[in-house]
Amino acid sequence: MRADLSLKHLALVIAATVLPLLPFLDKAFHIDDPLFIWTAKQILKGPLDFYGFTGNWFGLETPAYAFIKNPPLASYYIAVVGLFAGFSERAMHIAFLVPAALASAGVYVLAARFTGRPLIAALATIATPGFLVSATTVMCDVMMLAFWAWAIVFWMKGVDENRPSYLAFGAVLVALAALTKYFGISLIPLLAAYSVMKGRKGMSSLLFLLVPIAVLAAYHVYTDSLYGRGLLLDASAYATGFRSKSSGIDAFGKAFVGLAFAGGCTITALFFLPSIRGRRAVAAGAALSVLGAFYVYWKGTLGSADIIQKYGWWYVPQLALYASAGAGIIALVAGDLIKRRNAESALLALWVAGTLVFAVYMNWTINARSLLALVPAVSILIMRDAEGKSRAATLYVPLILSFAVSFMVARADYLHANSAREVSKRIFDAYSPQGKKAIWYRGHWGLQYYMDGLGARQLVFSSMAGEGELIVIPSNNTNIGKKYLQESFYQIDEIGVKPRLLNVMNHACGAGFYSNEWGALPFVIHPDCAENYRIFLNAS
C-alpha cells in the first residue's frame, strides 16, 4: 500500500530528527570519532592523500591506513566543515545534523512506497537507540544510511517507471554510500535482486550497477598505488583476521547475541508488536524471553565472560528480553514475505537478513553501528504489519516509549563521552603545573583525543615512562595493555566517574553498544557500574 507524500509530514520528520539531537551538540568526541577528525585534518593538508599520516591506535605508531578501516568520504565532509567552521565539537555536531535529517527524510519517502503510514515508520526509525546514538557521533554510519535510503528510493522509482536518469542517480548514490562506509557495497546485490524480481522491465537496469562497481574498483586501485594495499579488500581481511583471534562464541551464541543487539538497537519491536498483535505477541514474547533466560543459564558464558557470575542475575532477563524482540523482527520479516510474496517484500527481507548476517558473522564484532542499516526496514515492516490491525492513534504510545528509551541511551552515551574530556582536564589541572615531567597514558577513543590535545603522550607497548613521570590507566577503554607497570610504579591517585543507571560501553556490567567484546547487550540497566582512572608515578 503506497501513500502520498506530505511536505508537512516531511517537515515534521526533519524536526523530530533535529530537536532530540540539540541537547547533545557539545558531546565530546567519542569512540572512533577521532579517526574521522584526524583524517579530515590530513585531507586539508593533502586532499588526495587522505591516510597519509601515522598514529597510535593499537599500542604502536603505525600508518593510518593500517588502523582506519572506513572509506574517507565522511572525513571529506568533516574537512569542508572544519575549513570554514573549525573542528570544535559543537561545529561538528551541528554539521552532522544535516546527514541525520537527510537520512530520516529518505526513510519517510522510501516508506511511502511500502506502507500507508510512512510518517510513523520514519518517526519509529528516529526513535531507536541505533539511530539516535549514532546521530550524536561524527562517524560515518548515519551519513551512509542517508545515501542508502535515497539510493533505494531512486532505484525503485527508476525500475518501476523505467526512468534511466533515476537509475543513474541511484547508482551514484550507491557508490557514495560505499565510499562512506564499506557496508554500502551490499546495496549492489540488494538492488540487483530487486531488479531481477521485477522481471523484464528490471533486467535492463542492472547495467547501471556497473557505475558503483567501476567507482569501487578505481578506489581500490588508487589506494593500492598510494599505500601499497587496496583498502577495499584490506578492510575485509582485517575483519576476518580479527574474528579469528577474538575470544570466540559459537555460531548459535553469536545468533543469540545478534538478536539481542538487534532487539535492543531497534527497541521498536519490543513496544510495537504487543500494540499491533495484542495478547498473542505478549504471550509469544514472554515464552521467548523465558526460553532465552534458560538458554543463558544453561550456556553460562557468551564469549569469555561468565554472565551470571560477572554481571549478576539481573543481566539475564535484559538479555532474554532484547533477544525476544530480535526474534520478533525475524517473525515480521517472515510474516510479510509469506503474506505479500512480491519484490517489495523480498527487498525488505533481504535488507534485514543481509544486515544481520553481516553484523553477526562477517563483521569483526557485533555492534549497534553495523545494525543501523536495518532500522528503517524494521520500522517499515512494523507499519506494514499494523495495516488493518491498529488505528494510527494507538501506535503513538509505543512510539513515545521507544523514543523515551532511546533518548536515555543517547544521554548515557553522551555522559560516557564527556567523562573522558572532563577527566583529562582534571588530571592536567592537578598534575601538570609548569616544569613537571611528562604525563603518559594508555587507552584510545575520546580519551586519546583530549589527552593529546592537552599535551600528554600515548605510551607505546615498547616504551616506559621515565623517573618522576606519571601514567594514567583507564579502567574502561580499549588497547590498554596488560604489562604496563614495573615494580617502581605506585598508585598516587584514582579518579572515579559517577556511576550511571544506564550504561552503553562498560566491561564491568556487560554493556557493549560499540562492540560485543564489552558485553552481550548494547546497553544495560545497572545501578552501580564503576569506571575509574588510576594514576601511577615512576619513583625509580
**pLDDT higher than threshold 90 for residue 156:** yes
Residues 6+ apart with CB under 8 A from 421: 28, 446, 450
- How much is the pLDDT for 462? 52
Give tens-digit pLDDT for 84-132: 999 999 999 999 999 999 999 999 999 999 998 999 999 999 999 999 9
**pLDDT higher than threshold 90 for residue 528:** no
Q: Please, what's the b/e burial string for 99-129 (b: 16 or more CB within 10 A of its CB; e: otherwise)?
A: bbbbbbbbbbbbbbbbbbbbbbbbbbbbbbb
Give tens-digit pLDDT for 272-310: 888 777 666 667 666 766 776 677 666 666 665 667 777
Mean pLDDT of 39-64: 91
Pairing type for strands 511-512 and 457-458 reads unpaired
* Backbone torsions φ then ψ of 25, nearest 5 degrees: -65, -25
Q: Which residue has the higher pLDDT, 498 or 393?
A: 498
Residue 184: pLDDT band by 50, 70, 90 thresholds?
A: very high
Please, are residues 67 and 241 in contact by the beta-carbon 8 Å criterion? Answer: no
Please, are residues 505 and 517 in contact by the beta-carbon 8 Å criterion? Answer: no
**Percent above pLDDT 90 for the chain:** 52
What's the rounded Cα separation, in Å, for the pair 515 and 479? 13
**pLDDT higher than threshold 60 for residue 363:** yes
Mean pLDDT of 136-154: 97
- How much is the pLDDT for 482? 54
Mean pLDDT of the chain: 87
Mean pLDDT of 488-498: 81
Please, are residues 177 and 71 in contact by the beta-carbon 8 Å criterion? Answer: no
Q: Which residue has the higher pLDDT, 122 or 335?
A: 122
Residue 327: pLDDT band by 50, 70, 90 thresholds?
A: confident
**pLDDT higher than threshold 50 for residue 258:** yes
Lowest mean pLDDT among 3-7, 67-71, 300-304: 300-304
**pLDDT higher than threshold 60 for residue 247:** no
- How much is the pLDDT for 457? 83
- How much is the pLDDT for 73? 97
- How much is the pLDDT for 484? 55
Cell match 537496469: residue? Answer: 205
- How much is the pLDDT for 466? 62
- How much is the pLDDT for 345? 94
- How much is the pLDDT for 303? 62
Domain ranges of the chain: 414-538
- How much is the pLDDT for 53? 93
Mean pLDDT of 406-433: 91
What's the rounded Cα separation, in Å, for the pair 493 and 327? 47
Q: Which residue has the higher pLDDT, 260 or 145?
A: 145
Q: Which residue has the higher pLDDT, 288 or 159?
A: 159
- How much is the pLDDT for 509? 86
Q: How far are the Cα atoms of 72, 86, 211, 523 from residue 410, in angstroms, in the given order?
A: 25, 25, 37, 10
- How much is the pLDDT for 493? 83
Q: Which residue has the higher pLDDT, 244 or 52?
A: 52
**pLDDT higher than threshold 50 for residue 244:** no
- How much is the pLDDT for 214? 96
Most confident stretch, 32-36, 449-453, 460-464: 32-36
